Chain A
């Protein structure tokens, strides 16, 4: 049996190459870790920047909506109430003229009564538009019922409302957000979606309340960024965030929309 002699130089060469190999592999590992951390931190920063930008956009939408509301209220107050009160003041001034006939007196008094009644009606309407007293006094269920009744009586759309859960009176503030979301959705369905049927349903799943909203309007393209960035949508999103809930939109062209959100 011929046994080859192991040369010492061969062994030394092997040892040197093996250590060099391990050393370099260790170096590669350390460098990999170092560069990976940099890359991961950079990606995190990018994500955070995007989040911040999104929050700023939501804030902007909120402020713009607020200003628009103020303008509308100012307009309504001026048109419906200031003008009428103006005429009431004129009529009252007329009352101070001496020597008025009974007929004129009756006419002026009737005018004043008429105008003040109308002004009162309008101010009630404005207040109701701002915050429906029914919602405030009787809770979310009654508020939504009244909203559906109003939309139904416009004869342009038929609203079906189902409530499968109880609303706790403690959550008044949160219920206001839900009410506003439904208002926005229904306005959208009527104006943009041209829907003729809307269905709203409340349920309780896993301890959280779920609202399912459907309409049969023209719907929208799911991936259309323009629709997602509308003011109304941003405000709905903000409110859902306040409620600590989540919202899901599903729609297709001419297939109506289905919105599910929990709170």
Chain B
């Protein structure tokens, strides 16, 4: 069940990646950054699947996932948000988050091998704040990257807690230990479908032009 859901999620991610790459040349900076984000997420997913098939522990990839998502989406919102106040918050947040994480791993490299709760917490919260900024900007204005913003917000809201308890799933009984991951895969599908909807509503016509 988990495999089917997860694979559907990866499939839609791949479709999104291809669609976004196809429209690459004519679009703005934010679009390009988001395409890079999708690309890197796809690479991380593929690598984790490969490692899984070789029975190698792939938990360390989660750090690349969270950090990569955080850095790329921070750039995305840095371009998208308006006003010096909001952009400064993104810059300060990125600096703060990354430096604390760097210090953390410097002190205790063993953290690299399991879920880092602080990393999950800070990256998700900061991205939620940026997404909320963008919603605020879109009030009374044209909807720009609206569905993607909804997707990011909803997915982060939903999956943060699931990841926070991720370290515990190893100690759950076989009957229950896949449930957080099934829920996460399900949320991920919704996230990717929203990105697809965004593509259809905003970028499909532009490509035809």
**Interface set, chain A 1-37, CB cutoff 8 A to B:** 3-6, 10-11, 13-14, 17-18, 20-21, 24-25, 28-29, 32, 35-36
Is A70 in contact with chain B by the CB < 8 A criterion? no
Is B117 in contact with chain A by the CB < 8 A criterion? yes
Q: Specify which chain B residues have a CB less than 8 angstroms from the CB of A13 in the assembled complex.
A: 117
**Chain A contact surface mostly:** helix
Q: Specify which chain A residues have a CB less than 8 angstroms from the CB of B64 in the assembled complex.
A: none
* Contact yes or no, A10 B136, CB < 8 A: no
Q: A6-B171, A10-B168, A40-B140 are in contact. Are A28 and B129 (CB under 8 A)?
A: yes
Is A54 in contact with chain B by the CB < 8 A criterion? no
Is A43 in contact with chain B by the CB < 8 A criterion? yes
Q: Specify which chain B residues have a CB less than 8 angstroms from the CB of A25 in the assembled complex.
A: 125, 128, 157
Cα distance A17–B164 in the bound complex, in angstroms: 8
* Contact yes or no, A28 B132, CB < 8 A: yes
Closest-CB distance, A13 to chain B (whole angstroms): 6
Cα distance A248–B167 in the bound complex, in angstroms: 67
Which residue of A11, A25, A32 has the most chain B CB atoms within 10 A of its CB atom?
Answer: A25
Is A39 in contact with chain B by the CB < 8 A criterion? yes
Contact residue range for chain B? Answer: 20 to 34
What total of chain A residues lie within 8 Å of the partner, measured CB to CB?
A: 22
The interface bits of chain B over 138-152 (1 if a CB of A lies within 8 angstroms of the residue's CB, else 0) are 011000000000000
- Given contact pairs A10-B168, A11-B168, A36-B139, enumerate 20 new A-B contacts (beta carbons under 8 Å): A3-B171, A4-B171, A5-B171, A14-B117, A14-B165, A14-B168, A17-B164, A21-B125, A21-B164, A25-B125, A28-B128, A28-B129, A28-B132, A29-B132, A32-B132, A35-B136, A36-B136, A39-B139, A40-B139, A43-B140
Least CB separation from A43: chain B residue: B140
Q: A4-B171, A6-B171, A17-B118 are in contact. Are A39 and B164 (CB under 8 A)?
A: no
* Contact yes or no, B129 A18, CB < 8 A: no
Can you name 24 A-B residue pairings with CB atoms under 8 Å?
Answer: A3-B171, A6-B171, A10-B167, A11-B168, A14-B117, A14-B164, A17-B117, A17-B118, A17-B120, A21-B124, A21-B160, A21-B161, A24-B125, A25-B157, A28-B132, A32-B132, A32-B135, A32-B136, A35-B136, A36-B136, A36-B139, A39-B139, A40-B140, A43-B140
The interface bits of chain A over 122-152 (1 if a CB of B lies within 8 angstroms of the residue's CB, else 0) are 0000000000000000000000000000000
Q: Specify which chain B residues have a CB less than 8 angstroms from the CB of A32 in the assembled complex.
A: 132, 135-136
Is B112 in contact with chain A by the CB < 8 A criterion? no
Is B121 in contact with chain A by the CB < 8 A criterion? yes
Q: Specify which chain B residues have a CB less than 8 angstroms from the CB of A4 in the assembled complex.
A: 170-171
The interface bits of chain B over 101-122 (1 if a CB of A lies within 8 angstroms of the residue's CB, else 0) are 0000000000000000110110
Least CB separation from B160: chain A residue: A21
Cα distance A39–B138 in the bound complex, in angstroms: 11
* Contact yes or no, B136 A39, CB < 8 A: yes
